[in-house]
A and B are shown apart, each in its own frame.
Chain A
Amino acid sequence: MSNPADNNADIIQEFLAETRENMDMMERDLVTWEKQPGDREMLDRIFRAIHTLKGTCGFLSFPKLELVAHQAENLLSLIRDGKKEAEPKVVTVLLQVLDNVRRHLSQIERTGEEKSDVFASVLADLQALQEANPQAAPVVAVEWEEEAQGPSADNSLRVEVGLLDRLMNLVGELVLARNQIAQIGLREDDPVMKGASQKLSHITSELQSSIMKTRLQPIGNVWSKFPRLVRDAALAGGKKIRLELSGQQTELDKSIIEAVKDPLTHLIRNCIDHGIETPERRMTAGKPEEGVIRLRAFHEGGLVLVEIGDDGAGIRPELIREAAIRRGLVNMTKADTLTDHDLIQLIFVPGFSTAREVTKLSGRGVGMDVVKTNLERISGTIDVISSLGEGTLFKIKLPLTLAIIPALIVESGGGRFAIPQISLLEVIRLDPKSAREKIEGIDNIPFYRLRGRLLPLVYLNRELGLKSPKKVSDETSQMIHIVVLESHGGPFGLIVDEVRDTEEIVVKPLGRQLKSLAVFAGATIMGDGQVVLILDVTGLAQGVRSGEAVEQRNTQKRGKIEEAPKQGPTGEELLLFQIGDEGQWAVRLSEVTRLEEFNFNEIEREGVAAVVQYRGEIMPLMPLRQLLLPNGKAPRVAGLEDKLQVIVHSKDGARCGLWVDKIIDIAKEPLVLQRQKSSPGILGSMVIQQKVTQVIDIESLIKLDKARNLLEMTEVHGRN
Chain B
Amino acid sequence: MNTQVCTFMLGETLFGVDVSAVQEVLRPQAMTLVPLAPPVVRGLINLRGQIITAIDLRERLGLPPAVATVPGMNLVVRLPDEILSFLVDEVGEVMNLSEDQFEDTPVTLQGAISDVITGVYKLKDRLLLLLNVTAAAKLPAESN
Contacts and interface: CB of A to CB of B under 8 A. Distances in A.
Contacts of A466: 35
B116 to A, nearest CB: 14
Given A511-B53, A523-B51, A530-B30, A465 B35 contact: yes
B84 A511 contact: yes
B53 A513 contact: yes
Contacts of A465: 35-36
A651 B59 CA distance: 58
A525 B50 CA distance: 8
B51 A531 contact: yes
Contact of A525 (B34, B37, B49, B84): B49
A81 B111 CA distance: 76
Interface stretch (B2-10, B18-26, B38-46, B62-70): B38-46
A472 interface: no
Interface stretch (A274-282, A290-298, A514-522): A514-522
Given A177-B49, A512-B82, A513-B41, A530 B32 contact: yes
A176 interface: yes
Counting contact residues on chain B (CB < 8 A from A), the size range is 20 to 34
A524 B46 CA distance: 9
A523 B82 CA distance: 15
Given A523-B44, A531-B45, A513 B38 contact: yes
Nearest to A528: B30
Contacts of A533: 32, 34-35, 44
B33 interface: yes
B35 A513 contact: no
Contacts of A514: 34, 37, 41, 53
Contacts of B55: 513
Given A513-B55, A523-B51, A530 B34 contact: no
Interface string A522-558: 0111000111110000000000000000000000000
A609 B139 CA distance: 69
Contacts of B33: 415
A523 B46 CA distance: 10
A415 B32 contact: yes
A464 interface: yes
Contacts of A531: 32, 44-46, 51
A413 B33 CA distance: 11
Contacts of B37: 513-514, 517
Contacts of B51: 508, 510, 523-525, 531
Nearest to A532: B32
A247 B80 CA distance: 44
A154 interface: no
| Among A176, A524, A531, A532: residue with most chain B CB under 10 A | A531
Contact of B46 (A464, A510, A525): A525
A173 B52 CA distance: 15
Contacts of B38: 513
A683 B41 CA distance: 60
Given A525-B51, A530-B46, A531-B45, A513 B32 contact: no
Contact of A464 (B30, B36, B82): B36
A51 B77 CA distance: 54
A177 B49 CA distance: 8
A168 B45 CA distance: 22
A171 to B, nearest CB: 12
Nearest to A466: B35
A508 B40 CA distance: 21
9 contacts: A176-B49, A464-B36, A514-B41, A514-B53, A517-B34, A519-B36, A530-B30, A530-B32, A531-B46
Given A512-B81, A512-B137, A513-B40, 16 more contacts: A415-B35, A508-B50, A511-B53, A511-B82, A511-B84, A513-B41, A513-B55, A514-B37, A519-B35, A523-B44, A524-B51, A525-B51, A529-B30, A530-B46, A531-B51, A533-B35
Interface of A: 173, 176-177, 413, 415, 464-466, 508, 510-514, 517, 519-520, 523-525, 529-533
Interface of B: 30, 32-38, 40-41, 44-46, 49-53, 55, 81-82, 84, 137, 139
